[in-house]
Homo-oligomer: A and B are copies of this chain.
């Protein structure tokens, strides 16, 4: 399955493991990359020196290509990029912000830059800025999410029609059927988050992995909706946020106060059911077992072929 994305990233399978806070350190990224897909280290939950440690470890462990995801709204984004360039990382995924001026030093150092977008306007902007590809991420995705609420099914073909650079589909894809659907819509690779979060090599807490396995179709919810929407599993903390939102509304300041207090760490990494945020996508209802990451890659490919054979 060769596409412009597999050529660009020099990978065997058109599958990318999403960079996820507290989930995708060097162990998960390495396992995915060694399997022939692209593993991504999620820098969102790492201080610059911790990121350096993960980069050095993955480079020592594998010669396969891997990437780093950087949320651009981090205050210390320049320091993260400094580490990334010093450690000769060649693939950078940027999200949650405008790639703009950040692209230039990365491109000058030979980096491949892929930006995550949630509407057509952002996609055109990323292309104009010089990004090599984009991830078009739909409303069903876990974690931070676009305010336009465009779903993967509606977003991907509209983005694919608008840009010349290749499109990676994300949001709602947890098996080979979703992967085939993404390709039908014009994507040249898929980015998969939730399913890789529930793997043996994911650094998340066991309770968080278990909650993915148990989640039913309607169990995730969007909070902080008109500020920085976030999709997570319904739990006591999300219920509290939702109650406050519906009763009093939510300001950016109050959102920062609630969300920023290490809630992602509490939920995903520490398994604190009462007080943490358990970020996951609507596709959690499709994830039924915790497997090694390489098995997930293998399954996605075989499920893709099976779904394709069934097409009329």
Contacts and interface: CB of A to CB of B under 8 A. Distances in A.
Contacts of A283: 154
A151 interface: yes
Interface stretch (A29-37, A96-104, A177-185, A265-273): A177-185
Copies of this chain held together in the complex: 2
A119 B218 contact: yes
A247 B311 CA distance: 48
B177 A151 contact: no
A249 interface: yes
A246 B312 CA distance: 46
Interface stretch (A39-47, A51-59, A108-116, A167-175): A167-175
Contact of A184 (B157, B171, B281, B307): B307
Interface centre among A148, A177, A182 (most CB of B within 10 A): A177
Q: How large is the interface on A (under 10, 10 to 19, 20 to 34, 35 or more residues)?
A: 35 or more
A149 B246 contact: no
B153 A183 contact: no
Given A138-B153, A151-B282, A155-B217, A181 B185 contact: yes
The 10 closest A-B pairs by CB, nearest first: A154-B282, A181-B181, A180-B184, A148-B218, A153-B172, A151-B151, A181-B184, A154-B172, A140-B151, A140-B154
